[in-house]
Amino acid sequence: MHVEFAAEGLHTGNALQDRELYKLIDSRRFPLIAADLRELTPEAAPGRYAASGDITFVGRKRSYAGAMAVTHDDVRVTIEGELTFDIRDFGITPPRILMAKVYPDVKVRVRLVAAREN
Residue 57 main-chain phi, psi, to 5 deg: -140, 135
The answer to the question of residue 13 being in a domain is no
The predicted structure's pLDDT at residue 91: 93
For residue 95, CA distances in Å to 23, 46, 88 come to 11, 41, 11
Q: Where are the beta strands (DSSP E) in the chain?
A: 2-6, 32-42, 48-57, 60-72, 76-86, 96-97, 100-101, 105-115
The answer to the question of residue 43 being in a domain is yes
Q: Which residues contact 2 (CB under 8 A, 6 or more apart)?
A: 34, 35, 36, 37
The answer to the question of residue 57 being in a domain is yes
**What is the pTM assigned to this prediction?**
0.78
| 10-65 pLDDT, tens digit each | 887 888 888 888 998 999 999 999 999 999 999 999 999 999 999 999 999 999 99
The answer to the question of residue 21 being in a domain is no
Range of the domain at 97: 35-115
The answer to the question of residue 24 being in a domain is no
The answer to the question of residue 95 being in a domain is yes
Number of domains making up the chain: 1
Which CATH number belongs to the domain containing residue 66 in this structure?
2.40.128.110
Is 49 or 98 the better-scoring residue by pLDDT? 49
The answer to the question of residue 9 being in a domain is no
The answer to the question of residue 79 being in a domain is yes
Residues in the chain: 118
